[in-house]
Amino acid sequence: MSEPLVVMDGLTIRAPTRTLVEGVSFTVHGGRVTALVGPSGAGKSLTARAVMCVLDVDPGLVGGSLRYPALDPNVDWYEGVRGGGMSAQQRLLARTRHLRGAYFTYSPQAASSALNPGRTIGRQLTMAIARRQTPPDNLGAEIRRILQQVGLQPWAAGALPGELSGGMAQRAALAIAVAPKPRLVIADEPETGLDPVLRRAVVELLVQVCKDEGAGLLLISHHKDTVKRIADDVIQLRGQHGETGGTA
Amino acid sequence: MARNPAWMSAGLASLALLGTGASLSYYEEALPTTLNPLFADTMVDRRSQELVFDRLWYHDAITNELKSRIVQRYEVAEGGQALKIHLTPGVKWHNGKGLSSKDICFTVDALLDKGTPSPLAEGYRQILEGCDTQGNSTALVRFTRVFHNPRERLGFAVLPASEFSSTAVTPDLPFGSHPVGTGPFKGTKGRRGANFEAFGNAHHGPALAQLRLSEGQDGSILVRALINNGMQGIVQVPPPNRPELSASDEVALKSYDLRSWWFIALNTNKGPLADKKVRQALNLMLDRTELRKFAIGVEAGDENSPCEFISGPFVQSSPYYNRAVPVVERANMARAEKLLTEAGLSKSGGSWMYKGAKVTFNIGMLATLNAEATDILDQIGNQLGKGGFDRQVDKVRADEWARRVTTGNAQEFDLLIGKWSFGLVEDVNDQFHTRKGGEGKLNIFNYSNPEVDGILGEYAAARTDTAAQDAYHKLHKVLATDLPYLFLWKLDSRSAWRTEVRNNIIAPYYYFTEIDGWKYSK
Amino acid sequence: MTGRWPAIGVSAVLFAALIVLAVIAPEFLSEANLDLKEFGPAAVPPFGADDRGRPLWELAAQGARVVALPSVVAGLVVGLFAAAGGLIRSMDLRWADSAVAAFGEVVGALPRMVVILIVALLLPRDWRGLFPLAATWALLSAPGAMDEAAAVAERLGGARFVEALRAHGYSSWRIFVVHVVAFNLRPVIVRQAAEVTMQVVFLEISLSYLATSNDDPSFTHPDSVRSWADILHLGYRALAFDAPYMHALVLGLGLVALVAGTTIGISRAARAR
Amino acid sequence: MKRWWVRPLVRTVAALALPVAVPLLLTLLLWALPGDPASIVCPPENCTGTEALAERWNLHRGPMHFFSAWMSNAAGGELGNSWRMQAGVPVSDLVKESIPNTLALIGLAFIPILLGTVLAALDAIHRRLDPILHLMGLFPAVILAVIAAAWKVLTYTEFGGETAALFLGAAVLGIADGAFSGAVTGTRSVSSAERRQRYTGVGVLRGETELSNILPNITPALVGQLRARILHLFSGAVVVEVVLKIDGLGDLLWQAALVQDFGVVLPVATVFACFSAILLLAQALAEGGVAVWIRWSPKGVMERAA
């Protein structure tokens, strides 16, 4: 089994009135596809965001620990944040900014509204690539390669998100997600808003690209079939208790 | 803070002149409209121009004798129809050039040039024939006819030929704000004031180094400025502010003889006012005593009242004032109503009807009068209202007054409240003569009465002072009955100067004639 | 303020107060009475006397009459313009939209006060009054109002919103007048109208003050009538030379506050649900 | 995003049209007034022979002749002389002495507004302050100016305290008629609307800051608002300059217009139009610049693929 990228232990997040997630624990490994599944409202997105240290509910994080072993197995990033409320979570957000978009990246759902309408795909890719440790010697060529990898024509680099179709936007979003050569890609229901055929294609592509780039994939999804087909590990969120399931 | 060049130079000059002489700041009623004597419009213009220019002849402020600073001697020539003038040597223009006979003749030619759009010139065209230079310092000024007092007729300010390209002098020339004269001060007109710097000359040696004119504003500000020595003088102190100043021992209130009187011109060629009876009724309806009390704050029987009633177009101190004609001090409603009914007006529901319609008077007033007599417009309106006349009242800006009212173009009004100011020569031809040719230039409602024209003719033709007097006494009597104007009062003019300003003799009308003698020491 | 009724109540009362003031205004000020001059509210209720001993309420009322009609009319005009702007956008009339835009570019590009000043000073005597100036102001404010209303309609979904309603089989009247204007554009239209009304009142005060303070004839009303500016001028003298007219200053500021309060109230009332 | 250049183009055209349209309009007004222009310029009472003057001022051959003559002179920097207000003084001098004061006034007043805009864009002004801001914004310029003037007299700066007047005036302008409060609330509404957009949140998940994400998209709106505010300052400057007796353009216009001195009104109004034009151009430039910046994409992507 490859090295663990994220070790979440007993994640508990509270909103003013109720508990949103309680005692969720799991590990995400590099080079594998981990699916985060559960009924809507089970806190899938919340958990994914927690993995990225983006917590914006009050009081928010009250229990649990988060480790990125590939970076430093001894650091618990939630240290001093638990029960610290908004301010502590804000500090965490600032402290971990350098990780987001580098160590792990995010591929949103309904990409056409998730991409900055004021930046061309090319610019967004450039910014993403800039997060790499070692910049490519030919930026143009690199962008072209990534675009090809997600099945987009080079001209897409000059296009603004508003000028792309839903499917193309989704591919672009994926391209932007993998461009920084992250250890882990977190994809939030990438198939949403796409027709069945396109949906399948996009997910396959997602898995394929992550494999090619040697990145782990944390896939948030409520489509059982998708999950069965592609997931190596499954994290089942049942409203309250979560556990890491066995191999598919 | 950037200021206009005039003020800049003023600032520098005052620095440069420290020690050599003092600088005085004073408030005028308004800014001079122009410093070009040919286009003098207001009293402020005349006063300011007196600082910059020399009039060929002028009246001494104390002895009242006819004098000249730039004429050394003169002879009557051509059997009294011309005057040979020998100029005072050494007189310099503010541009450094010397005064010569050319300048005298240029001024005369400018006055006679049809291209010079000046009402003043209009007047001189009736009197002057022409001018010839005889050498550098002698000029021969010719008249249209023989005058018994030719020098009296030559009161115009002399202009420098060198500053003009032609004898057609127009109001838009830079000369209007940066004039060149031979007077005691070199003047420049700025945006918020005018600045006058002393100019030593053979015939002038002003003790003051600089005079700065600022536009007057809220009376209380003037008073405060003066008492706090922010300013040294106020040329025209509004009556309401006089008590506060006379209470201060740092300030001296000085009365000066400005022959100016207030009137309400009646539109004699419109509606009921065309009827003499109606005009007489209005004259009786006005309670001058009340008006004076409310607007100027004078109680009846006030000993040193700044305001004396008049019954005709002259101030009571004038030789032309006809004391036989009584003034209406209090309203007499009964007689007024009787006259109105005789004139065919009828009263219904408290208001007068004329030819079946309610009578509404459109009343206008020269806006600047409000400073001297607060809300007089309202007061007069109220009195007419009580008398049973509806009204619509409007103030008229000074410039519109000059442009439309005095030119007889404001016929939409029925009553116009105004004020005339005169020098020693109280010639009312312009006000009351039928408007034609050069006559009746200031005839507000184009009033025309052959009898009046006749009398005015007599005055013009008069060869002796008594003849002139008789004519004007007759005129006074006629106007007091025919009433093209309701004559109100003479409001005496008071200046306030700080006591450090000494020897400041104020000349009637032109005010600054004796400025050379003024002194200022802290 | 979230509740609708309090806002409506307050603004209605304030507005009524202004109108009543305007209605009861005397045509001419009463006789001067120098014995009463400088007297405060105690001596001359309710507001005290002016420098001629005339009750200040007369000045206040006359001032209200001067501004009441023109300012309200200007407000209504701008309201109509705003509604038009919103409708044009939701009807998806491209040409009209771009025409409005072009109009707005030119009109919106000029400093309003400069335009007003020029108009005010060039008007012939018999045209003089607040109405032409208020009209000019309304015209100058129109493009902005239309633009904002259009933006709201845009956010509403513009033409798509209308299509959706058509699908419900609503009549055009019901769609445009009821749903678009009354339900959705109401807040912005009312706010724009109220604000322009207020601006015109303040414009009158400004112009009259500039005139009064140096004895010039007024641009906005016959000189037998007084404006709120005259009250404020007394107040100025109270401030500057501690002349005994503090009560005038209070009244003047109070009237300004009254107008501002009405504007806020009305806008809030329109916004609240 | 298609045809992004339309708006900037319209603005540019409007900007170029203004300095011509305004004097033309005024010329027509002069002719529309009752009475012939020459006698309005020089009252018959002190102009018995106006023909010569009319000719000198090109008033004798109809509005178009006058306009074209005036424009060609103005193009050469020759703004003509004052006809009444300061007879014979070159208007260019009057304008030259006035512009610095007006610009100083507006510049000073603009500082707080710009500050407010920036802070609001950074979301650094707490909403609890809004009621206070609104209250401040309710005062019309004239009221504040009057209070300022009174204070100025009290402190006797009346007698030679132009600088005091300038700062007071700027303070008045910066606050009055919702100048500052409008800048804050206006900017905030724009930026918060953008902050609510989904892409901003996603940007955060990608390790970007909110501001860097929204800035290019809100810039055009902000520039538009700022332009409107500056225009507003020009309007307010007229009142403030007259009340506080500051020798600025607005005061010049007022004084000239009072005596119907078209020789001055015309050029001053045109100068105002020029300022407006400059603002329009600046906005067009900003919009165009942003639009171009937005479309940037790295070189070399199309190579070989093309």
Q: What is the pLDDT of residues D257-272, one digit of tens each?
A: 887 788 898 999 999 9
CB proximity A139 to D under 8 Å: yes
Partners of residue A152 in chain D, C-beta under 8 Å: none
- One DSSP character per residue, B331-378 reads --HHHHHHHHHHTT-EEETTEEEETTEE-EEEEEEETTHHHHSTTHHH
Pairing of strands B519-520, B501-502: antiparallel
d(CA B513, CA B51): 7
pLDDT band at D251 (very low <50, low <70, confident <90, very high): very high
Helix D62-75 × helix D6-32 angle, to 10°: 130
| Residue from the list A52, A115, A125 with its beta carbon closest to the beta carbon of D205 | A52
| Residue from the list D10, D22, D277 with its beta carbon closest to the beta carbon of C102 | D10
Beta bridge partners of B261: B420
| Residue from the list B39, B192, B228 with its beta carbon closest to the beta carbon of D46 | B39
Residue of A nearest to D210 (CA): A116
Per residue in A232-248, is it b (16+ CB within 10 Å) or e — as a string?
bbbbbbeeeebeeeeee
Alpha carbon of residue B404 to chain centroid:
18
Helix (H) or strand (E) holding D277: helix D262-294
CB proximity D216 to A under 8 Å: yes
A59: preceding bond cis by omega (within 30 degrees): yes
Best of A112, A119, A131 to substitute, by most chain D Cβ atoms within 10 angstroms, is A119
pLDDT of residue D176: 87
Give mean pLDDT, residues D99-115. 94
pLDDT of residue B5: 38
List, for residues B231-277, the tens digit of each pLDDT value: 899 998 988 888 889 888 999 998 887 788 999 999 999 889 999 99
List, for residues A12-30, the tens digit of each pLDDT value: 999 888 888 888 999 998 8
Q: Is the dihedral of CA B83, B88, B94, B98 positive or negative?
A: positive
Contacts of D88 (CB under 8 A, 6+ apart): B172, B173, B174, B175, B176, B177, B178, D81, D82
d(CA B283, CA B263): 11
Residue C173 clears pLDDT 90, i.e. is over it: no
Whether the CB-CB separation of B140 and B82 falls below 8 Å is answered with yes
Whether the CB-CB separation of D10 and D50 falls below 8 Å is answered with no
Task: Give the helix, strand, coil percentages of chain C, each rounded to 5.
Answer: 75, 0, 25
Decide if D202 and A115 are in contact by the 8 Å CB cutoff: yes
pLDDT of residue B220: 79
- Note the residue count of chain D: 306
Residue D50 clears pLDDT 70, i.e. is over it: no
- Mark whether C and D touch (3+ CB pairs within 8 Å): yes
Partners of residue B116 in chain D, C-beta under 8 Å: 49
d(CA C177, CA C182): 6
D259 CA: distance to closest CA in chain B (Å)? 6
List, for residues A93-106, the tens digit of each pLDDT value: 989 988 998 888 99
- One DSSP character per residue, A20-56 reads EEEEEEEEEETTSEEEEE-STTSSHHHHHHHHTT---
Decide if D258 and B119 are in contact by the 8 Å CB cutoff: no
**pTM across the whole model:** 0.85
pLDDT of residue D39: 67
Best of D135, D139, D177, D235 to substitute, by most chain C Cβ atoms within 10 angstroms, is D235
CB proximity D292 to A under 8 Å: no
Decide if B171 and D52 are in contact by the 8 Å CB cutoff: no
Best of C97, C100, C118 to substitute, by most chain D Cβ atoms within 10 angstroms, is C118
Per residue in D124-143, is it b (16+ CB within 10 Å) or e — as a string?
ebeeeeeeebbebbbbbbbb
List, for residues D15-46, the tens digit of each pLDDT value: 999 899 989 988 888 788 776 776 666 655 55
d(CA A99, CA D204): 11
Whether the CB-CB separation of A12 and A25 falls below 8 Å is answered with no
Whether the CB-CB separation of D230 and D279 falls below 8 Å is answered with yes
CB proximity C122 to B under 8 Å: no
d(CA B451, CA D298): 99
Decide if D245 and B33 are in contact by the 8 Å CB cutoff: no
pLDDT band at D1 (very low <50, low <70, confident <90, very high): very low
pLDDT of chain B, 522 residues: tens digit per residue: 333 333 333 333 343 443 457 899 999 988 888 899 998 878 899 999 999 999 999 988 888 889 999 999 999 988 889 999 999 999 999 999 999 999 999 999 999 998 887 878 878 888 899 999 999 999 999 999 888 788 988 999 999 999 999 998 888 788 988 999 999 999 999 888 899 999 989 999 999 999 999 987 777 788 888 888 888 999 989 888 888 898 889 999 988 877 889 999 999 998 899 999 999 999 999 999 989 888 887 877 777 778 889 999 999 989 999 999 999 999 999 999 999 999 999 998 889 999 989 999 999 999 888 888 888 888 899 899 999 999 888 899 887 887 788 888 889 999 999 999 887 778 898 899 998 877 888 899 999 999 999 999 999 888 888 999 999 999 999 999 999 999 999 988 889 999 999 999 998 888 999 999 999 987
Degrees (nearest 5) of the Cα angle B123, B127, B130? 110
List, for residues B184-219, the tens digit of each pLDDT value: 999 999 888 899 999 989 999 999 999 999 987 777
Residue of B nearest to D252 (CA): B191
Nearest 10 degrees: Cα torsion B363, B368, B372, B375: 40
List, for residues A179-223, the tens digit of each pLDDT value: 988 989 999 888 777 777 777 888 888 888 888 888 899 999 888
Chains in contact with B, where contact requires at least 3 CB pairs less than 8 Å apart: C, D
Residue whose tokens read 């507006």:
D106
Residue C192 clears pLDDT 90, i.e. is over it: yes
pLDDT of residue C273: 57
pLDDT of residue D151: 75
d(CA B133, CA B125): 19
End-to-end CA distance of chain C: 11
Whether the CB-CB separation of C224 and B381 falls below 8 Å is answered with yes
Interface predicted TM-score (ipTM) of this complex, two decimals = 0.82
Partners of residue A52 in chain D, C-beta under 8 Å: 205
Decide if C217 and B396 are in contact by the 8 Å CB cutoff: yes
Decide if C237 and B379 are in contact by the 8 Å CB cutoff: no
Residue A155 clears pLDDT 80, i.e. is over it: yes
d(CA A204, CA A207): 5
Tokens, residue B513: 């004639």
d(CA B258, CA C201): 43
Nearest to B237 by CA among B491, B510, B6: B491
- Mark whether D and B touch (3+ CB pairs within 8 Å): yes
Residue of B nearest to D165 (CA): B1
Amino acid at B479: L
Whether the CB-CB separation of C214 and B216 falls below 8 Å is answered with no
What burial class does residue D109 get, using C-beta atoms within 10 Å of its C-beta: 0-12 exposed, 13-18 middle, 19+ buried?
Answer: buried
CB proximity A33 to D under 8 Å: no
| Residue from the list D205, D295, D306 with its beta carbon closest to the beta carbon of A106 | D205
C223 CA: distance to closest CA in chain B (Å)? 5
Helix (H) or strand (E) holding B379: helix B376-387
Chains in contact with D, where contact requires at least 3 CB pairs less than 8 Å apart: A, B, C
CB proximity A106 to D under 8 Å: yes
Amino acid at B273: L
pLDDT of residue D115: 93
Q: What percent of chain C shows pLDDT beyond 90?
A: 35
D221 CA: distance to closest CA in chain B (Å)? 35
Best of D89, D168, D268 to substitute, by most chain B Cβ atoms within 10 angstroms, is D89
CB proximity C35 to D under 8 Å: no
Contacts of B188 (CB under 8 A, 6+ apart): B5, B6, B9, B10, B177, B178, B194, B195
A22 CA: distance to closest CA in chain D (Å)? 22
Beta-carbon contacts below 8 Å between B and C: 59
Query: 3-class DSSP state for residue B383?
Result: helix
A34 CA: distance to closest CA in chain D (Å)? 19
Give mean pLDDT, residues D110-133. 89
Q: Is the dihedral of CA B25, B31, B36, B38 positive or negative?
A: negative
Partners of residue B175 in chain D, C-beta under 8 Å: 88
Tokens, residue C242: 């501690």
Residue of C nearest to D225 (CA): C144
Per residue in B229-261, is it b (16+ CB within 10 Å) or e — as a string?
ebbbbbbbbbbbbbebbeeeeebbebebbbbbb
pLDDT of residue B84: 95
List, for residues C16-65, the tens digit of each pLDDT value: 999 999 999 998 888 888 787 778 887 787 888 888 888 999 999 999 99
D186 CA: distance to closest CA in chain A (Å)? 21
| Residue from the list C109, C124, C236 with its beta carbon closest to the beta carbon of D149 | C236
Partners of residue B393 in chain C, C-beta under 8 Å: 222-224
Decide if C118 and D269 are in contact by the 8 Å CB cutoff: yes
Decide if B1 and D101 are in contact by the 8 Å CB cutoff: yes
